[in-house]
Amino acid sequence: MSHSTNHRPLPAGFETLQPFVSKWAGATSLERMTTRAEADYAEIKDFYDAMVEKAEDAIALINQYPLKAMPEDVENLAKLTLALCQAAVAIEFHGQPRAPGTPYPNSIKLTKGMFPLG
């Protein structure tokens, strides 16, 4: 664990989120969407519960950096925070990983995301 931790650090104060980095801190919206769609509900819930507690602190911290030049640890935190949007779809809307009755995989492709990390 500590080995991979050092590879993808988070800013001080966000240590409780470290176990979620390798799975949830995807670099693009598409990656984060895929992670949620393919995760178990329990996994999503674990990440959601941990991340939602820190979300406002995380947003406040990341807001202090220019989006074009985030330090690596801040960028990792930004990826995790954006992944919360995906987790929230499962937890707050559907009560399951994906929309009820919808096929997976399906033909919907996110062809262009927003800057940065989109």
Partner 1 sequence: MNSRAEFSVKTRGTLTEDAGLSTDPVPLSVYRSREFYEQEKEQIFRRAWLLVGRVEELPSPGCFVRKELPPFGFSALITHSKSGKIQAFYNACPHRGSTIVHEAEGKSGRLVCPYHRWSFSHDGELVGITDEGNFFDIDKKKCGLKTIATDIWDGWIFINLQPEPEVSLEQFLGPLKDFLGGVNYISPDNYFSFTAELDSNWKTAADAFIETYHIPHIHPETLATTFSSGINPYARLLDAKILGSHRAVSMFGNNTYQPKSGSRVEAIGQSLSKRGSVIAAANKEAAEAFLSHPAVNPTNSPHWSMDVNAIFPHVQIDFGPGGFWVHHFWPAGHDKTAYEARFYAAEAKTFSERFQQELYLTRVAEVVLEDLCNLLHTQQGINSGAFDVMPLQDSEIAIRHSVEEVIKWVNAESVKEILP
Alpha carbon separation from 16 to 49, 51, 110, 114 (Å, rounded)? 11, 9, 30, 28
Does the footprint of partner 1 cover residue 27 (CB under 8 A)?
Answer: no
Q: Round to whole Å and give the CA distance between 16 and 2.
A: 13
Does the footprint of partner 1 cover residue 17 (CB under 8 A)?
Answer: no
Q: Give 71 or 118: the residue with its C-beta nearer to partner 1.
A: 118
Query: Site residues for partner 1, window 32-61 (CB under 8 A)?
Result: 33, 48, 52, 55-56, 59
Q: Round to whole Å and give the CA distance between 28 and 76.
A: 12
Give residues in contact with partner 1 (CB under 8 A).
29, 33, 48, 52, 55-56, 59, 62-63, 65, 67, 78, 81-82, 84-89, 92-94, 98-99, 101-103, 106-118
